[in-house]
Structure formats: C-alpha cells, structure tokens
Amino acid sequence: MSEPTTPATSNPTSAPENTPGATATSVVDTIFDLGFGWAATGLKLGKTALEQSAKTLAQTAKALENLATELEKKDAAKG
C-alpha cells in the first residue's frame, strides 16, 4: 500500500482549496467583503445626507432671520 503524498507547499492548518471547508471559508470571506463594501457606501451616503441637511437648515435659518428683520423694519416704520 502506498502512502498518500502531500504537496511540499501545503499548510497543515489550512484546508485544501477543493474541500468543502475551503469553499465555505471563501464564501464567508466574500460575504464579509461585500458587507464591508456596503457599510462603507452607506456611511458615505449618510455623511452626504447629513451635510445636505445642514446646508438646508442653514438656508432656512437665514430665511427666518431675513423675515424677522423685515418684520422689525415694518414695525419700526409704523411707530
């Protein structure tokens, strides 16, 4: 009976690439990579949304300030 041979470059702690364990590891790695990609995209979109909201609030605050100034001018002109 002959003994099974192993490649000289094999790592005893890792599963060979054609085994179910290696395939599962590959799938898990791919899923994690996709998850990290989506998380990064979501964070960038969240940042952009917050920046746009801040700009909109600043514009609204300026409009309210202008309205208050106009009302004060009209009140001063009456009295």
Total-model pTM: 0.57
Residues with Cβ within 8 Å of residue 25, at least 6 apart in sequence: 15
pLDDT bin (cut points 50, 70, 90) of residue 78 is confident
Across the range 70-76, mean pLDDT stands at 94
What's the mean per-residue pLDDT of the chain? Answer: 84
Instruction: Provide the 3-class DSSP secondary structure of residue 31.
Output: helix
**pLDDT tens-digit map of 19-55:** 767 788 899 999 999 999 999 999 999 999 999 999 9
pLDDT > 90 fraction of the chain, expressed in percent and rounded: 66
Distance CA 79, CA 21 (A): 86
